[in-house]
A and B are shown apart, each in its own frame.
Chain A
Amino acid sequence: EIVLTQSPATLSLSPGERATLSCRASQSLFRSLAWYQQKPGQPPRLLIHEVSKRATGIPARFSGSGSGTDFTLTISSLEPEDFAIYYCQQRSNWPFGYTFGQGTKLEIK
């Protein structure tokens, strides 16, 4: 199974600041890396798919990058509604599976 490790576990920032969230895979991924946002009491929402493609309706302040084993979600200027938990996720064919990172909690400083 491919393991995804997210860092930091918690990120404390203020509105208007730039957020950089990391996701590291235990082996190289072939562009099948996505990012989700989850707020309390809600299901996750897809933000980014295939490493860098924004999902429908996602604001341009969210961007994804990376390759191989290291991936990043960047929020260029935090809005109050961006404070939530963020998960990365991968799909692999060998070994087969879908795995999620353990999450990064983005909290207001």
Chain B
Amino acid sequence: EVQLVGSGGDLIQPGGSLRLSCAASGFAFGDYWMHWVRQVPGKGLVWVARIDDTGIIANYSDSVKGRFTISRDNAKNTLYLQMNSLRAEDTALYYCVRSERGSFDFWAQGTLVTVSS
């Protein structure tokens, strides 16, 4: 069974840093591109970042470029999102997501990041 378990969400002050993790199991993690998608509670979905299966190619939305870094450890079946210079507008539920053929086929439960003083 495919499982994605996100963790690391917390209450953090503006300007602070946080690292999210996502543990994958039940599938060949190293064969898939992985993403982070966020959602302000009660609002819509916003794509944040993606990383290719090897961990070499990464892309970001304009709103997080230069502040967030997506990475992965295929030996540990784990995806990461390093979040620096956090802003109030980064407050959201962050989903770790697997993709195939341009769509998002498995989603973690989400981990909540709250940026507030």
With a cutoff of 8 Å between Cβ atoms, the chain B residues found around residue A103 in the complex are 44
With a cutoff of 8 Å between Cβ atoms, the chain A residues found around residue B50 in the complex are 98
Residue from A32, A34, A98 whose CB has the most chain B CB atoms within 10 Å: A98
> Roughly how many angstroms separate A7 CA and B104 CA in the complex, as a whole number?
22
For window 43-94 of B, CB contacts with A under 8 Å fall at 44-47, 50, 59, 61
Q: How big is the A interface, by class? A: 20 to 34
Quote the shortest CB–CB distance from A93 to chain B (angstroms): 10
> Roughly how many angstroms separate A97 CA and B49 CA in the complex, as a whole number?
10
Residue from B46, B95, B104, B108 whose CB has the most chain A CB atoms within 10 Å: B104
> Roughly how many angstroms separate A98 CA and B46 CA in the complex, as a whole number?
8
Q: Which of A50, A90, A99 sits near B101, CB closer than 8 Å?
A: A50
Residue of B nearest to A35 (CB): B103
Residue of A nearest to B97 (CB): A43
- B102 contacts chain A at the CB level, 8 A cutoff: yes
* A residues neighboring B (CB under 8 Å): 32, 34, 36, 43-46, 49-50, 55, 87, 89-91, 96-103
